[in-house]
Chain A
Amino acid sequence: MSWGLIFATTKIFHFSHALTLTVAVYAAVLAVSGWGVPLPLGFAAAALVGGLVGVGTELLLYRPLRRAQATQLNIFLASLGLLIAGQSAVLVAFGPQARTVEGFPMRGIELGPVAFTTVEALWLVAAWMLIGGLVAWLWLSRDGLAIRAIASNPELAQCVGVAHERVFLLVFAVGSALVGLGGTLLALRDTASPTMGVHPVLAAFIAVFLGGIGSIPGAAVGGVLLGLAENMGGLVLPGYWQGVIAFVVLFAVLVVRPAGLLAGRGR
């Protein structure tokens, strides 16, 4: 959803969102494991650093590029370049080995036939809270209105006096803070590594396109669908297809309904 928010609003194919995620998670790792900060503050650090990285990317990379009237492909490649360079920087600074975020009690929970861990329970709760919060903010606040205006028609929004540069910044700040939180949640169970951001962000691309560009709730639905397809497909198809399912689903959807499953029916 955070990537969807940025993409829908700014139309930037923000690949280096993966870098934002990685850096934010490393901030949390450092804070918690390095300086012994309690875990909730670690999350705060991730959100803060994520937001800063996102805003920095927008200010120092995308804004000058837009001013120079770069094409979408140019911006996309610049984003890729930043990701490659940033990943290597993280690698040099922290080494290639995986890090963990400590301090969360990991236990198994069983509810009837369903078994999961405390981390997964936290994921469930936190994810829905973040999604709910974001949707509420988009629909209830004045900033949310401005964001939706730009997402649906940038030129018209500018005409009625929505300052799009400011909104872009805001979107990058919020989206990046969210991905910091999300990344740290992931790192609670899995580990942090310099390339950890790529897979979640690829999944995010797919979720956003499945749900339909510009539809922010659609991105959430797309994410859920994607998760279901991956797990259900694993039950009926031979093992080596499992990693492929997400992309096959995407391929099929793009071919059949290029605008996305839940895209608005406008003309």
Chain B
Amino acid sequence: MILLFSILGVSLNLLLGYSGLVSMAHAAFFGVGAYAAALTARHLGWPFPLTLLAAVVVTTILAGGVTFPALRVRGEYLILLTLALQMVLYELMLSWTDLTEGRTGISAIPRPTLFGRTLVTPAQFLPLIAACAAAVFAVGYRIGESPFGRVLKAMRDDERATLAIGKSVLRYKVAVFSLSGALAAVAAALFAHYQAFINPFSFTLDRSIFLVALVVLGGTANLAGTLVGATLFVGLPEMLRFLQARQEIVDAIRDFVFGGVLVAFMRFRPQGLLPERPGVGAAPARAGLAAVTPALPVAAARTDDGRPVLRAEGLYKSFGGIRAADDLSLVLPGGRVTALVGPNGAGKTTVFNLLTGFLPPDAGRVVLRDRDVTGLAPWRTVGYGLARTFQDVRLFERMTVLDNVVAAIPGQPGERLGPLFATPWRTAAAERANRARALGYLAFVGLADRAGDIAASLAFGEQKLVALARLIATEADVLLLDEPASGVDVQWVSRILELIRQVAAAGKTVCIVEHNLEVVTAVAHRAYFMEAGRIIAEGRPEELMADPRLGEIYFGKARR
């Protein structure tokens, strides 16, 4: 039983710990798998490994399919939604008597026969279950500690930022839900054959809650922690059986202790028994970090210096009655820095959101070179070479600085499940190359020595630099920087500006949103002045600064 719960825990930890998706329906998925195995064995007479396959297929499809519409929601909504799913599936198991035989359950599930031996006793089952558990653990570990797992963690830490580095959050969510269902189904098929009998009462909400608790107590995003948790919280209560007391009192005491432990852990050790290991793969050796050569990728199309690379034509966007963008057109020339300036609330950040697909415009077009990218999903526009940063930085806070940057590198084979398992050597080689590249980008912004640190531990100015390195790592050649130098000490500002100049000199097309007019004059070749969703002036920054009308809008009318 400990091993079965370990399998379930590992499968749930991928969801809960790595991806931050709380599923209260795991017991129901477990149940669906068990029924799939039991029914194919009983009615179709399939032998054991085939029934396991059936369980995996059915549960994967269900988990992936049912959760697909659910994945637009997060946090407490997802808890509630999966709770609803758990109840629906459970009630169906109880009431769809033609298929499940209701509360009586399905009995006389054939024992599996392997290598000519029929497994009956627990001792005979042990090697099979242990082998499966080991396999599931290996799969889970491989996924969790891979580029794929890195994207999952990024998604957990910040969904919008994950989109902004060009990863389709939806695709990863469906993948991880299906995968988690598939692994749970392995436990389910084993459970059905081991017990030779199943009924709905093994797949209740209480069991789902227990599984969630098990994962959190063991340690989220740490699979070894889940094993320890399963051993302790499934194994120890079995000891209580030896107490000479009435069963229901024993159960009550067990629940009481379990509840108490849960409360105490949340209070004093919320990260669980074994906390998450920072960083994917081996930590970079500190000694070598100083010697990393700074790297700056040269834009593919060096030739479009000064020519228009990104054009926006007639963008409209309104929120209720407010026009956040009103017939807005602009052009970003290649290899230059363009600035958007204007007072608070002029709609500068909205323009970024419209350009990168975070908001669909009500009307108008966004054209990147010759490609219409209007209203494409943000992760797609990144793929076409248009990426952005956020005003509030949005690093993946619980990941290392290095992982923040590596995660943004496009086209990693280890981010797809096929190559991850089919061509491990190629994946590993690509990962080494990507890490080296990411270190180069970090060296470019001057933070290579902080590569192994947790992102949240950095000062705000350093976080902005990491965000810049992450943006460069997307290999996009049109870079939109939202207030790259705001809220940062003066000594950082000049450093950031110097980097922006270098990036543009390397052929990238850069656009910044900035309040600080000194910053704008220092780096921008051209500036657009915005007010109330419109562009009311454009020109060289010095010219705009000299215009008394704009000064009035920016600073308010001078008192007389």
Give A residues with C-beta under 8 Å from B.
13, 61, 64-65, 68, 70-78, 80-89, 91-92, 96, 202, 205-206, 209, 239-241, 243-244, 246-248, 250-251, 254-255, 258, 265, 267
Contact = CB atoms under 8 A, between A and B. Distances in A.
DSSP majority for the B interface?
helix
Given A77-B262, A244-B95, A250-B80, 12 more contacts: A13-B76, A61-B267, A76-B79, A78-B266, A78-B267, A87-B259, A91-B248, A205-B83, A246-B87, A247-B85, A251-B70, A254-B80
B247 to A, nearest CB: 11
A85 B81 contact: no
Interface in B21-46: 22
B91 A88 contact: no
A76 B22 CA distance: 11
A80 B260 CA distance: 10
Contacts of B95: 239-241, 243-244
DSSP majority for the A interface?
helix
B308 to A, nearest CB: 32
B91 A240 contact: yes
Interface stretch (B108-116, B144-152, B166-174, B249-257): B249-257
A254 B70 contact: yes
21 contacts: A80-B259, A83-B259, A84-B255, A84-B258, A85-B256, A86-B259, A88-B259, A89-B256, A91-B248, A202-B87, A205-B83, A209-B80, A240-B95, A243-B94, A248-B84, A251-B84, A251-B85, A255-B81, A258-B72, A258-B73, A265-B320
Contacts of B249: 92
A87 B216 CA distance: 21
Contacts of A88: 251-256, 259
Nearest to B212: A77
A260 B531 CA distance: 35
Contacts of A254: 70, 73, 77, 80-81, 84
B319 interface: yes
Interface residues of B, number: 46
A240 B96 contact: yes
A61 B263 contact: yes
B88 interface: yes
B72 A81 contact: no
Contact of B262 (A80, A247, A267): A80
Interface in B55-93: 69-70, 72-73, 75-77, 79-81, 83-85, 87-88, 91-92
A85 B261 CA distance: 9
B248 A81 contact: no
A87 B261 CA distance: 15
B69 A255 contact: yes
A85 B76 contact: no
A81 B264 CA distance: 9
Given A73-B22, A240-B96, A255-B69, A81 B80 contact: no
Contacts of A250: 80-81, 84
B259 A73 contact: no
Contact of B79 (A13, A83, A85, A87): A13
A68 B259 contact: no
Contacts of B84: 206, 247-248, 250-251, 254
B457 interface: no
Nearest to A209: B80
B213 interface: yes
Contact of A240 (B97, B253, B263): B97
Contacts of A240: 91-92, 94-97
B196 interface: no
A48 to B, nearest CB: 24
A247 B319 contact: no
A235 B142 CA distance: 51
Contacts of A86: 259
B255 A85 contact: yes
B248 to A, nearest CB: 6
A242 to B, nearest CB: 8
